[in-house]
C-alpha cells in the first residue's frame, strides 16, 4: 500500500430523510453555477454514469442513492468504492432524491464529482486527432449533445471559447449521457484561443453562411482537424472566421435557412471522421 493510500480518508455512510439536512441543502445548491464554481463540483445522475466516472478516474465526493437501492449488488459495490475513495454515501428517501434532482421520477443513484477541465496549453493534437471549438454556445442541450457526439465519433475533445453555458450544469451533463466523463473539455477566452490556434498543426475548418466550399468536398484525412462552430444565433464572429483555413457550408434544399448547432456539428463530425468509422462484422 502506498503512502498516499494510507493517508487517504475513508468516507462515511449516512441515512438522510429530511429535506432540511445541511448535506442535502449543499448538494441541491449545485443546481446553481455560483455554487458549482465555489465548490468545484457537479452532479451526475444514474448508476451507469457513476460507474463510468469511477472507472475513468473521476473524483467522487458524495454518492446519493434511494432506499430502494439497498440490497442492489451494483449500488452496494459503487457505495463501497465511494467510501474507499474517501467520499460520503447518503441513503435517502425518494422525496429527498426528487428534491435533489428536481425530477418526479429520479434515477436511483446520483453522484457528486469534482470538476475537471483540460488546460488548453496541454492540448497538442497528433495526426488524425479531431477537436471541436464552440464559440459562445448558449444552450446546455446543444453543448451536451455535441460532447456526446464527439464521444460517439471518437474525436478528441471540446474547446469552449468565450462566455459559454456551463459544461457541468445538470442539464448539460444529462444531455451528454455520460460522455462528460470520457471527453476532455477545455475553456478559453477568444484571444488565448486564437493564440493557441496559431500553433495548430493541421486543418482549421469552420462552418459559415458565407462559406463557398461544400463540406463533403474536403479531404480531412491524415492530419489533425480543428472544427470551429459558431454561436446558435450569430454564427462564427469575424475574428474566428478569419482564423479558419477553410470556411465550409452544409448544403440544404428545404425552406429552413440553418441547422441546429448540435445537428450541424454532428453532420460535420461524421464527415470528418468518415474514414475512421466502420461497422463491425462482415459486409452483407
Q: How far is CA 269 from CA 4, 5, 105, 167, 182, in A?
A: 41, 41, 34, 20, 17
Q: Pull the grid cell for residue 225.
A: 482537424
CB 65 within 8 A of CB 91: yes
DSSP states of 126-156 as a string? -TT-EEEEEES---HHHHHHHHHHHHHHT--
Q: Pull the grid cell for residue 223.
A: 492530419
Instruction: State the average pLDDT over residues 120-142.
Output: 96
pLDDT 10s digits, 1-30: 444 444 555 567 778 878 878 889 999 999
pLDDT of residue 15: 82
pLDDT of residue 70: 79
| CA–CA dist 261, 199 (Å, integer) | 26
Residue 79 belongs to what H/E stretch? Answer: helix 73-84
CA nearest neighbour of 62 among 37, 35, 36, 44: 44
The radius of gyration computed from the CA coordinates of the chain, to the nearest angstrom, equals 21
pLDDT of residue 280: 73
Paired residues of 187 in beta bridges: 160
89 three-class SS: strand
Instruction: State the average pLDDT over residues 150-179.
Output: 96
pLDDT of residue 11: 64
Q: What angle do CA 11, 167, 224 make, to 5 degrees?
A: 115
Instruction: State the average pLDDT over residues 134-159.
Output: 97
Pairing of strands 109-114, 41-45: antiparallel
- Please say if the pLDDT value at position 281 is more than 60: no
pLDDT 10s digits, 207-254: 987 777 999 999 998 899 999 999 988 889 999 999 999 999 998 888
pLDDT of residue 9: 59
Q: Specify the DSSP class assigned to residue 178.
A: T
pLDDT of residue 99: 87
Residue in the structure block whose three cell numbers are 429552413:
256
* Mean residue pLDDT across the chain: 90
Beta strands in the chain (DSSP E): 13-16, 41-45, 60-66, 88-92, 109-114, 130-135, 157-161, 185-188, 203-207, 213-214, 225-229, 246-249
Task: Give percent above pLDDT 90 in the chain.
Answer: 71
pLDDT of residue 3: 47
Amino acid at each position: 500500500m502506498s503512502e498516499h493510500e494510507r493517508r487517504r480518508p475513508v468516507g462515511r455512510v449516512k441515512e438522510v430523510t429530511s429535506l432540511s439536512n445541511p448535506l442535502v441543502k449543499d448538494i441541491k445548491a449545485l443546481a446553481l453555477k455560483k455554487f458549482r464554481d465555489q465548490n468545484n463540483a457537479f452532479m451526475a445522475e444514474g448508476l451507469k454514469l457513476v460507474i463510468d466516472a469511477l472507472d475513468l478516474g473521476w473524483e467522487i465526493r458524495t454518492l446519493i442513492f434511494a432506499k430502494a437501492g439497498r440490497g442492489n449488488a451494483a449500488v452496494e459495490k459503487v457505495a463501497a468504492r465511494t467510501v474507499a475513495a474517501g467520499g460520503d454515501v447518503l441513503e435517502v428517501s425518494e422525496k429527498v432524491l426528487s428534491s435533489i434532482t428536481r425530477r418526479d421520477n429520479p434515477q436511483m443513484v446520483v453522484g457528486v464529482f469534482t470538476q475537471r477541465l483540460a488546460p488548453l496549453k496541454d492540448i497538442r493534437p497528433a495526426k488524425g486527432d479531431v477537436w471541436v471549438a464552440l464559440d459562445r454556445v448558449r444552450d446546455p442541450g446543444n453543448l451536451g449533445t455535441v460532447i456526446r457526439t464527439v464521444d460517439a465519433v471518437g474525436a478528441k475533445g471540446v474547446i469552449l471559447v468565450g462566455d459559454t453555458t456551463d459544461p457541468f450544469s445538470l442539464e448539460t451533463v444529462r444531455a451528454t449521457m455520460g460522455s462528460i466523463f470520457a471527453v476532455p473539455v477545455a475553456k478559453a477566452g477568444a484571444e488565448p484561443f486564437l493564440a493557441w490556434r496559431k500553433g495548430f498543426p493541421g486543418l482549421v475548418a469552420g462552418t459559415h453562411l458565407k462559406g463557398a466550399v461544400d463540406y463533403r468536398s474536403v479531404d480531412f484525412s491524415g492530419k489533425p482537424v480543428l472544427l470551429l462552430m459558431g454561436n446558435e444565433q450569430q454564427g462564427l464572429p469575424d475574428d474566428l472566421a478569419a482564423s479558419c483555413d477553410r470556411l465550409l457550408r452544409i448544403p440544404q434544399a428545404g425552406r429552413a435557412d440553418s441547422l441546429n448547432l448540435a445537428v450541424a456539428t454532428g453532420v460535420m463530425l461524421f464527415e470528418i471522421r468518415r474514414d475512421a468509422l466502420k461497422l463491425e462484422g462482415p459486409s452483407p
